[in-house]
Amino acid sequence: MTPHAARGAAASRIDVGRVRADFPILRREVHGKPLVYLDNAATTQKPQPVLDAIAHYFTACNANVHRGVHLLSQLATDQYEGARDKVRAFFNARTVREIVFTRNSTEGINLVAHSFGGRVRAGDEVLISAMEHHSNIVPWQLLCERSGARLRVAPIDDRGDLLLDELDALIGPRTRIVAIAHMSNALGTINPVAEIVRMAHAKGAAVLLDGSQAAYHMPVDVRALDCDFYVATGHKLYGPTGIGVLYGKEALLEEMPPFLGGGDMIRSVTFERSTWNDLPHKFEAGTPHIAGAIGLGAAVDYITAIGLPDIQQHERELLDYATGVVAGVPGVRLIGTARNKASVLSFVLDDVHPHDIGTIVDREGVAIRTGHHCAQPVMERFGVPATARASLAMYNTREDIDALGRALHRVREVFA
């Protein structure tokens, strides 16, 4: 933990200036202007402790894990498995056996869809919502095609809120799994996931929660939520790309067959048959992303030291401010105004295509995302081809939002 992070953790709210000092990329310029990074829903920037942890692995103990008796292998294994325990604590899982390292949330969802999905039969149902990312749509479509099951979709209203009564009505005796975003990447909506889990369990359905967006904005306690599966991705948790997390209840993971075959996921192999390794290694075939896991562990340390409740409070206040600034630009229409939302502002501006908005805003040094955000059904629901999206993180400031506001006024000038 850096001194900056330590001082931030001691305060009732984070000291954003000290936090920003830990992120080297925030000191660079773009098109001759200071970088204003507001594309955090796509990926967050990385603090120095994460960069240092990755560099230390490669320069001091680069070796494969679990397979060597030499010192470097033992050091690498200790750091890799130590990162797993940090992730376990971060999500309050009961045991490290419930924490599977994946490449990203997408792989975690696919793992569940293939392995747990093996129990889904023709006539069964899988329930998702109308606000899902493609990663939480396509794997279930593929499962339904393989099995003959039916994909059901719970609707959302004009604000972007999930219609809970309709979702509850869609959970029936043939529903095998409910897969729902904890937080929408396109709208910012925070779903009442604890209530959804209770609804589904009352009718015998399992629940997977996609925490790709939620996990770096708010505390997540998988035991309190009682979800069966939870996925998150490292690169949005201020960690590296190529590393993700699947939490699964131990009893379910024990019953599930392996997703991929190969080294490290086996106990024994003969040409006649193979037997599987203990959890979680049964689901981690081949050499893992060792540096990625170690970097994720460092990111979890960093977030924990600052404190997710303080981060959440800072981002909530910043979102309120940003909503006023962006909505105050003539011609702007916000897409997604849910009663409970976090850190995402999607919008359209008159007849200006979002890609043009993004291009002009970029020339002003402000990085936002434009497009359908891998959520084309959401765009269809709101009758737009795409949106511009500004998304916030702990290192963003009101000055960043003011820069966005000025850049949007510049867009209006260009297209006047």
Q: E strands along 172-271, which residues?
A: 175-181, 206-210, 229-233, 244-248, 266-269
pLDDT given for residue 100 in this prediction = 98
- Opening angle at CA 323, ends 317 and 324, nearest 5: 100
Distances (CA, A) of 306 to 7, 275, 314, 379, 380: 8, 43, 11, 35, 39
Q: From CA 206, how far away is CA 197, in angstroms rounded?
A: 8
Q: From CA 160, how far away is CA 384, in angstroms rounded?
A: 14
Q: From CA 340, how far away is CA 104, in angstroms rounded?
A: 26
Q: From CA 20, how far away is CA 385, in angstroms rounded?
A: 35
What is the amino acid identity at position 254?
E
Q: Report phi then psi at 161, rounded to 5.
A: -85, 140
The domain segmentation of the chain, as residue ranges, is: 3-45+307-414, 52-304
CATH of 3-45+307-414, one of 3.40.718.10, 3.90.1150.10, 1.20.1250.20, 1.10.3720.10: 3.90.1150.10
pLDDT given for residue 367 in this prediction = 98
pLDDT given for residue 5 in this prediction = 40
Overall fold of domain 52-304: Aspartate Aminotransferase; domain 2 (3.40.640)
Per-residue pLDDT of the chain (416 residues; tens, 9 = 90+): 333 343 333 334 889 999 999 999 999 999 999 999 999 999 999 999 999 999 999 999 999 999 889 999 999 999 999 999 999 999 999 999 999 999 999 999 999 999 999 999 999 999 999 999 999 999 999 999 999 999 999 999 999 999 999 999 999 999 999 999 999 999 999 999 999 999 999 999 999 999 999 999 999 999 999 999 999 999 999 999 999 999 999 999 999 999 888 878 777 888 888 877 788 999 998 899 999 999 999 999 999 999 999 999 999 999 999 999 999 999 999 999 999 999 999 999 998 999 999 999 999 999 999 999 999 999 999 999 999 999 999 999 999 999 999 999 999 999 97
**DSSP string covering 28-67:** -EETTEE-EE-BTTT-----HHHHHHHHHHHHH----SSS
Choice among 61, 144, 227, 374 that is catalytic: 374
Q: Which two tokens stand for residue 193?
A: 């996931």
Torsion sign (Cα): 131, 135, 138, 140? negative
Q: Report phi then psi at 28, rounded to 5.
A: -85, 170
pLDDT given for residue 359 in this prediction = 97
Scan for tokens 């009442």, then name that residue.
192
Active-site residue, 374 included: yes
pLDDT given for residue 273 in this prediction = 87
Q: From CA 358, how far away is CA 161, in angstroms rounded?
A: 26
Q: Which two tokens stand for residue 344?
A: 């995402």
